[in-house]
Amino acid sequence: MDRRGGDGSAGDADYSRIGKDYSRYRRPDPRIAARIVEALGSARSVLNVGAGAGSYEPTDRNVTPVEPSASMRAQRLPHLPVAVDATADRLPFPDAHFDASMTTFSVHQWPDLRAGLTEMRRVTQGPIVILTCDPDALDRFWLHDYAPEVTAVEGNRYPPVGEIIAALGGAADVLEVPIPLDCTDGFNEAYYGRPERLLEEGARLACSGWSFIALTIVQRFVDKLSGDLADGTWDRLYGYFRALSQFEGPLRLIVG
């Protein structure tokens, strides 16, 4: 049965509605990118599943991107390879076709995690590199106090790290990835020390979890955070986040 959305999206988020400014806010951070490149090792041919607009695709490798959403494929820059219209659980490639595979901020949207990772393993000779978030660590920063509904949604969407490891065959390295204060990739935790950015609608929509929250809750968040920033409450309670050069949050690199 075809479970893809109107623009081809295979996940739970409607990128035809929320993905318009995705590439503006979700720009790959070079420090996170370096960790991904290191995990890919010497691989020359790399499959990128759920490639989106092309974040974190290494430009010094032969990358084959796979992206089911037409909205996201349309945002890929001209210098990047054209993405294949396919889904993780049905990869149109022969066995052991790639030296390595990668996926970033994507596994939480797959309808069938095990099927997708099994397919990645089938077409990959070497490492599978997954950038994701640990759902058990999503409450480590102040957003949980302002919008616990967002944390709850994300916690239910991100697969447990143990589930990912099991789907990879039971063996993988799990690395905590520190988030820099000036992180250019605008996922929620990237704004741990820059709360003002989450008052921007575009910044919120670039994090798909917000699209599952009622507009009344989003407005409550905006009103509360705006007021607390204006009267100094936020800085009194959470201002120490502004001084952290990096944040040990939920970001994880899983290498199987």
Position 49 confidence tier, pLDDT thresholds 50, 70, 90: very high
pLDDT tens digits, 26-43:
899 999 999 999 999 999
Cβ 45 vs Cβ 98: under 8 Å? yes
- Write down the pLDDT at residue 160: 96
Position 53 confidence tier, pLDDT thresholds 50, 70, 90: confident
Does the pLDDT at position 25 exceed 90? no
- Residue 57, sorted as left (phi over 0), alpha (psi -120 to 50) or beta, turns out to be beta
- Write down the pLDDT at residue 216: 98
Mean pLDDT of 216-239: 98
Query: What pTM was computed for the model?
Result: 0.88
- Write down the pLDDT at residue 22: 66
Position 11 confidence tier, pLDDT thresholds 50, 70, 90: low
- Write down the pLDDT at residue 236: 98
| Tokens found for residue 59 | 């430009």
- Residue 91, sorted as left (phi over 0), alpha (psi -120 to 50) or beta, turns out to be beta
Does the pLDDT at position 142 exceed 50? yes
Which 8-state DSSP code applies to residue 196? Answer: G
Cβ 256 vs Cβ 169: under 8 Å? yes
Distance CA 15, CA 11 (A): 9
pLDDT tens digits, 70-96:
888 998 889 999 999 999 999 999 999
Distance CA 234, CA 223 (A): 13
Does the pLDDT at position 14 exceed 70? no
Domain boundaries, given as residue ranges, for the chain: 15-255
- Write down the pLDDT at residue 24: 79
Indicate the class that CATH gives domain 15-255: alpha beta
Does the pLDDT at position 241 exceed 50? yes
SS3 (DSSP) at 53: coil
Kind of pairing between the strands at 45-49 and 100-104: parallel
The amino acid present at 61, given as its one-letter code, is R
| Tokens found for residue 19 | 């993905």
Burial of 9-34, coded b for 16+ CB within 10 Å and e otherwise, reads bbbbbbbbebbebbbebbebbebbbe
- Write down the pLDDT at residue 119: 97
Mean pLDDT of 41-51: 97
Position 4 confidence tier, pLDDT thresholds 50, 70, 90: very low
The amino acid present at 241, given as its one-letter code, is F
- Write down the pLDDT at residue 2: 43
